[in-house]
Amino acid sequence: MSRLKDKYTLITGGTGGIGLETARQFLAQGAKVAITGRSAEALRLAGDALGDEVLLIESDAGDIAGQRRVADTLAQHWPRLDVLFINAGDVTHRPLQDWDEATWDRLQDTNLKGPFFLIQALLPLLHDPSSVILCGSVSARIGLAQSSAYAASKAGLLSLARTLSGELIGRGIRVNGLSPGPTDTAALGKLGLPPEEEQALRDSIRQLVPLGRLGKPWELAQAAVFLASDESSFVVGTELLVDGGVGNI
């Protein structure tokens, strides 16, 4: 299939979960794909899974100076950028009393400040027309306990989908939000919980979803394909919820 034929696409946080699956689906639709990742080893494994044609860029999404290096690397390899999917994120959840300034700053740098300055750095490369997709979260819409800092960062990112749309639409750049609900990725396994506690957490999260199950990375990737493709050329400044009904039912 060729819904993204010859489109140059960048996916941040593309070494696992939604990002890796989106890279796989972009490739299947004919796109040229670059991914970023914080870990050299994770990038290598992602490259093995995706193939030699994928451009691998080691980058920490929270390193503001590093965003310019990402743009410089792309400019050395590609003539333009047609699609940017900002997917990298810090998913730290904890009670209000357990937050400290350093952890707060780290999360906001990764989820909001870094993406803002990455878009700025990529402006000279972004084509007319192009699509920028900001990965939000249904958490920005609901009052989920322990999600305060995370949800605030995602609310800010979704706000950028509207405000930057107004600012960049004259340059042919569409900006939209894509907000997952609870999705079955390896992120829960990185919390360091014993197996029985991790399963209990999964069960409690599943109960939030009216459809009664967690989302699949493939489902989010298909939504990203739509927003990246010309099929969504009349979609701008909005938020696409792919959340099993969490935000509306």
Mean pLDDT of 180-204: 79
Residue 170 counted as domain residue:
yes
Which residues are the active-site residues? Answer: 150
Residue 248 counted as domain residue:
no
CATH number of the domain to which 43 belongs: 3.40.50.720
Residue 214 counted as domain residue:
yes
Q: What is the number of domains present in the chain? A: 1
Residue 247 counted as domain residue:
no
Determine the structural domain holding residue 135 and report its residue range.
8-242
pLDDT band at 191 (very low <50, low <70, confident <90, very high): low
Q: pLDDT of 116-170, one tens digit each? A: 999 999 999 999 999 999 999 999 999 988 899 999 999 999 999 999 999 999 9
Residue 233 counted as domain residue:
yes
Residue 15 counted as domain residue:
yes
pLDDT band at 192 (very low <50, low <70, confident <90, very high): low
**Residues shown for the chain:** 249
Residue 193 counted as domain residue:
yes
Tell me what the pLDDT averaged over the chain comes to: 95
**Residue carrying structure tokens 């050395």:** 76
Residue 249 counted as domain residue:
no
